[in-house]
Amino acid sequence: MLKSFLSEIKDNRRKEGKRYKPGDILLFSIFAIHGGAVSHRKILMFIKGHYEVLNEKFGHERKRLPAYTTI
């Protein structure tokens, strides 16, 4: 339910900047914050540590992590 709600968020970035859907980044960030992350770097560290499971469970097929600036 949360993923479908977040997927409705409009993406205003240029085409070149749309490697990751904003809903996916927000969903992973919410999990990280719920897990205790309190900064962009800690959110990225959480995503890095759980990336394989997050991809598997939520159908995200990117091999590379989002950049720090994407978060």
pTM (whole model) above 0.95:
no
Let me know if residue 65 belongs to a domain.
Answer: yes
Range of the domain at 51: 1-7+20-71
Question: Is residue 59 assigned to a domain?
Answer: yes
DSSP, res 18: -
State the total domains in the chain.
1
Task: Show the tokens assigned to 31.
Answer: 């999990």
Transcribe 40-68 into DSSP letters: HHHHHHHHHHHHHHHHHHHT---SSPPPT
Q: What single-letter amino acid sits at 36?
A: G
The string of pLDDT tens digits covering residues 14-71 is 877 677 888 888 999 999 999 999 999 999 999 999 988 888 887 766 677 887 777 7
pLDDT score for 30: 95
12 within some domain:
no
The answer as to whether 13 is a domain residue is no
47 lies in a domain?
Answer: yes
- Given a contact cutoff of 8 angstroms between Cβ atoms, the answer to whether 28 and 54 are in contact is yes
Is residue 26 domain-resident? yes
